[in-house]
Amino acid sequence: MTERRREGSAPGRPDQPTIAVVQARMGSHRLPGKALEQIGDRPLILWTLAALTAVGRLDGVIVATTTLAEDDRLAALLRDRSWNVHRGSVRDVLTRCWEAVAPARPTLVVRATADNPFIDPAVVTAQIERTVQGGYDYVGTAGWPLGIAAEVATATALEAAFREATDPAEREHVMPFLYNRPGRFRIGSAPPPEPPTAGRFTVDTAEDLAFARAIAQRLGPASGPPSLRMLAEIVQAEPALVDLNRSVRQKTWQETER
């Protein structure tokens, strides 16, 4: 089910709408409740949504959470702030995300997660432009620091994944059906930053949360979402910050939480 429209969202382009879907839930195994963990002056998910709102090429943002009772509090917070919310399957995240965006009949879908408070709007914009200009079916995060970028796919490709994927890991992680089939889908990437930026900017564990809170403290009150350049300047000034979550192992797409 889908609830409420975000007030003040960009006017729709019925010919070629681009819709972002943010998957979020409270039941993370490694850091339960992380979507509502406080980072600086707000919960993590509101950082993610603020970043996506700053992407000028988006026509709408939908949060896709689950139907479990444990996600009622998350859905309520978002409803109170007039965000669009869809509730669906716990494990079949591909279906949850597709059913969230399908009513809008998008041309492009931007998939993000509430693990990532520091998404750079300029990077997501570049990914959208790369998808359109290059005629790609999918543009991912290759070469970018973890947590900075999103994933962009054509709705046609994402619908094919929704209808055809049978591997439980492909259904849980949403996009592998596309990027694991380069012979069928056109796979692209946005040029990565130069020089490379150190740091793990996603939140999967308590160590990641400590790092994100340290970054937020150093950002202070900001007029908008931080750019990758701002984050890079912080970690360059204090290299020891990356030690807070350097040892965290990133799960592979083949791993599920079943």
Domains of the chain: 2-193 (3.90.550.10)
Q: What are phi and psi of 71, to 5 degrees?
A: -100, 5
65 neighbors 3 (Cβ within 8 angstroms):
no
Is residue 256's pLDDT more than 80? Answer: no
The per-residue pLDDT for range 177-193, each reduced to its tens digit, is 999 999 999 999 999 88
The per-residue pLDDT for range 128-180, each reduced to its tens digit, is 999 999 999 999 999 999 999 999 999 999 999 999 999 999 999 999 999 99
Strands (E), the chain: 2-3, 18-23, 38-39, 42-43, 60-66, 84-88, 108-113, 138-140, 151-154, 187-189
First to last CA, the chain: 24
pTM score above 0.85: yes
To the nearest whole number, what is the mean pLDDT of the chain?
A: 90
DSSP 216: H
DSSP 38: E
The per-residue pLDDT for range 69-103, each reduced to its tens digit, is 999 999 999 999 999 999 999 999 999 999 999 99
The per-residue pLDDT for range 208-247, each reduced to its tens digit, is 999 999 999 999 876 689 999 999 999 999 999 999 999 8
pLDDT in the model for residue 251: 65
Give the Cα separation of 158 and 95 in Å (integer): 10
Q: Is 252 exposed, middle or buried (0-12, 13-18, 19+ CB in 10 A)?
A: exposed
Give the Cα separation of 31 and 237 in Å (integer): 28
